[in-house]
Amino acid sequence: MENTVIKSKNFNAYFGDNHVVKNVNIEIPKNHVIAVMGPSGCGKTTYLRCINRMHELIPGATSNGEMDLNGENVYDMHPIFVRLKIGMVFQRPNPFPNLSIHDNVIAGYKLNGIKLHKDDRERIVEHSLKRVALWNEVKDSLTKKGSFLSGGQQQRLCIARAVAMEPEVLLFDEPTSALDPISTSTVEELFHELKTNYTLIIVTHNMQQAARVSDRTAFFYMGELVEYDDTKQMFTNPKDSRTQNYITGRFS
């Protein structure tokens, strides 16, 4: 596939003896939104966490096969470098509660021991908050704690924190499941803007969300990648009966 950013080749992941991601082959193109969907326990979140080597932080977790970023296996890279290039946003908004909005945005630099000049700090904070459409809402409150914000604003702050490190890929693990409908809509609109500069991979239980925001969709079932196609094609004419059954609600 042209301009492939992430490529999995015969990729497997395990928790001890439990084989949770099975021989996945997938190519993810640059500047696309990819939805990853499937029933609970199908391996989609584990697969997502393998992309930036978060999976290996769990005791007993292992993997094999290739997971490439721009043609280089991420498991041959230093994990800190991988996580700088592949940012992650979690299910529940998790700004650092004791840090200001300003310091939350640049927290990744401090955690990785990267020193910034004051002018660079201010530029990165403003640029990152503008990227997530939050600057105008918080520019006069940058010294307030991140927990001062609403749930939807907190999630956008977490996205700004990821964006501040200038990654190539952003991973989202059910990023709107804890948000109200209005905040969900705001974050979904943001996905369309972010893909101009990043590749987005979004795990979601919400099929309507997958249909709204993604260019391509991957359907996982029992650890296997069952189908991966253009989103519109998958939702209107899936090739596999298991995809059809999931989309039509015959199993969840």
- Map residue 103 onto helix, strand or coil: helix
Above pLDDT 90, what percent of the chain? 90
> Do the beta carbons of residue 68 and residue 9 sit within 8 Å?
yes
For 192-203, the pLDDT digits (tens) are 999 999 999 999
pLDDT exceeds cutoff 70 at 234: yes
pTM tops 0.85, yes or no: yes
Please write the tens of the pLDDT for every residue from 120-158. Answer: 999 999 999 999 999 999 999 999 999 899 999 999 999
- Beta-carbon neighbour count of residue 250 at 10 Å? 10
pLDDT band at 92 (very low <50, low <70, confident <90, very high): confident
User: By mean pLDDT, which of 16-30, 105-119, 131-145 is the weakest?
Assistant: 105-119
Average pLDDT over residues 21-37: 97
- The answer to whether the CB of 134 falls within 8 A of the CB of 143 is no
* For residue 1, pLDDT beyond 70: no
Question: Tens of pLDDT along 167-182?
Answer: 999 999 999 998 999 9
Give the domains, in start order, of the chain with CATH numbers.
Answer: 4-95+168-247 (3.40.50.300)
Say what the pLDDT of residue 2 is: 66
| Of 27-31, 38-42, 103-107, 110-114, the least confident | 110-114
| pLDDT the model gives residue 252 | 58
User: Contact at 8 Å (CB) between 3 and 30?
Assistant: yes
pLDDT of residue 250: 76
Decide: 134 and 160 in contact? Cβ < 8 Å.
Answer: yes
Give the percent of the chain with pLDDT over 70.
Answer: 98
pLDDT of 54 > 90? The answer is yes
Kindly state the greatest CA–CA separation across the chain.
56
Helices (H), the chain: 44-51, 79-85, 101-105, 107-111, 118-131, 135-138, 151-163, 181-194, 207-213, 231-236, 241-247
| pLDDT(47) > 90 | yes
Q: Name residues whose C-beta falls within 8 Å of residue 234's C-beta, 6 or more positions apart in sequence.
A: 217, 219, 227, 243, 247
- Closest CA relative to residue 101, chosen from 58, 161, 50, 61: 161
